[in-house]
Structure 1
Amino acid sequence: MDICNKTNSIAVIEFLNVFLFQLHRVMITKYKYILSILGLLLSMVVSAEESEGKRVMIAKDRFSVTVTHAGKKVDIKRNQDRSHQIDDAFRSTARGRIQPMHPFQPRQIETVGELEVLDYLEKRERGESVLLVDTRSAQAVKRGTIPGSINIHWKDFGKKKQLVRYFEDVLNVKRSSEGIWNYDISKTLVLFCNGPWCGQSSAAIKKLLRAGYPEHKIKYYRGGMQSWLSFGLTIVTPE
């Protein structure tokens, strides 16, 4: 009887040892899982706090660009509200037709992005002969445009009287007594419209090329207002 009791006791002890060992393993695994979740949550909180303390930059060392628009200084920068979303007017994904990156072949017209547009605006501020042209309708411009730009409707580039007036009064193109246009001191033009699905600025550029405007003085901002607003960059509305 004693032998049986002793055997049973040993079996119980072995069972308890195995049970406690397995329980220990389960608890360690469980605590590791809990600790990993807590660590992840903590890192998310720290990351959120760091994000709130950081400015939304244009580029690594570029927070804003100051330009002149309608005689007033305007700071172009990105919207600092991290929950900000693109304007409703540009949310649709089913409009227009996607424009080629280089729609003027074999002409060598440079296609530029936002940083290059800002570079050209800074050149203009320094007195260089540069002009940013919004080729959309006046009605579209009323909803907002890029600071430092002027509005010339894309169709006007195909109308002789309007084009002559813009050449002489705005674009700094000189005409000889024989009626020959001289582009030596004409302005470098950066043209844009609604976005990469809109063909207005590319149509304007083609009209300029047909009129003889030098291709090295024409830049195509394909992204237009769609891209500009998607980065939360500053816009202005006519007063």
Structure 2
Amino acid sequence: MIIRPTFALASLLLIGPFAQAEDNKITPTLESVDVSHQGTTQTITRGADRHATLPEMFQKTERGCPPFCVQPMQALPGVETIGELEVLDYLSRIHQGDASILVVDSRTPDWVMRGTIPGAVNIPWNRLNTDPSGSLQQAGEAEDLGQILTEQFGASQDPSNSQWQFNDAKTLVLFCNGIWCAQSTANLKTLAGLGYPVDKLKWYRGGMQDWLSVGLTAVKP
């Protein structure tokens, strides 16, 4: 049975203080967050259009599994699952000069072109992905992975034994399309398998679908 509000209740909802507010804060005390995106400052806010809807690509409720399977709440033991406010905090810290953090959009470029989180760096999941046996699929991928680990993630290799060192590696915040997207999950497993400290790996499970569902700013490259 569907319960609909009575006229009196509906009127109360319409004239309440939240309905009268012209702005739309992120939290009661947070109106916006400045982040660094491609060399410029971008301000993240929530949209004030009360009639806004999700983009069509995120309106589906049915997706084939595999590959679009619902992801667990914890990607890996020790990897923290975070939400929008934590992502905003990491982005703000980067904007304020903290170079020890990197927010990574794990999606392929065709998805990123439709919009991404301001301040995120796109490193497509298949540049880090390994096959089910745990080995890189092609020699070129190993070189690509090594370049990403050193130049973007801050890891290094011990010249004596070629083992990866992560003492100075960045804290990575990974996301993809949403709770039905396994791309960032795959990357977390790959990185942990290489020895990346799990306490330096963070997972924004909700991804772009949750980000857009609460009206937060997205940007196109």
Which TM class, normalised by the smaller chain length?
0.7 to 0.9
Deviation at 1:87, TM superposition (A): 1.1
C-alpha offsets along residues 10-53 of structure 1, whole Å, 9 cap, x if unaligned?
xxxxxxxxxxxxxxxxxxxxxxxxxxx7x768645633x86243
Which of 74, 85, 88 does residue 102 from structure 1 map onto?
A: 74
Specify whether residues 174 and 94 from structure 1 end up closer, same or farther in structure 2 by C-alpha distance, changes over 3 A only. same
Deviation at 1:127, TM superposition (A): 2.0
Q: Please tell me whether residue 155 in structure 1 is matched to residue 138 in structure 2.
A: no
Gap regions ≥5 residues in structure 1:
1-36
Q: Write the letter of the residue equivalent to 1:71.
A: G
Q: Write the letter of the residue equivalent to 1:148.
A: G
1:145 maps to what in 2?
116
Deviation at 1:162, TM superposition (A): 1.1
Could you say what the CA RMSD is over the residues aligned between the two structures, in angstroms? 1.9
Q: Please tell me whether residue 69 in structure 1 is matched to residue 52 in structure 2.
A: no
Q: Please tell me whether residue 164 in structure 1 is matched to residue 146 in structure 2.
A: yes
Q: Write the letter of the residue equivalent to 1:162.
A: D
1:124 maps to what in 2?
94
Which of 191, 200, 204 does residue 187 from structure 2 map onto?
A: 204
1:191 maps to what in 2?
174
Which of 153, 164, 170 does residue 181 from structure 1 map onto?
A: 164
Specify whether residues 40 and 164 from structure 1 end up closer, same or farther in structure 2 by C-alpha distance, changes over 3 A only. closer
Specify whether residues 234 and 42 from structure 1 end up closer, same or farther in structure 2 by C-alpha distance, changes over 3 A only. closer
Which of 36, 46, 58 does residue 15 from structure 2 map onto?
A: 46
**Higher RCO by CA contacts (8 Å cutoff, separation 6 or greater):** 2
Gap regions ≥5 residues in structure 2:
1-6, 130-140
Q: Could you tell me the TM-score, scaled by structure 1's length?
A: 0.78
Deviation at 1:83, TM superposition (A): 1.1
- Compare the two structures and name the one with the higher helix fraction: 1
1:55 maps to what in 2?
23
**SS of aligned partner of 1:66:** strand
Specify whether residues 53 and 196 from structure 1 end up closer, same or farther in structure 2 by C-alpha distance, changes over 3 A only. same
Q: Could you tell me the TM-score, scaled by structure 2's length?
A: 0.84
* Residues matched between the structures, number: 199
Q: Please tell me whether residue 214 in structure 1 is matched to residue 183 in structure 2.
A: no
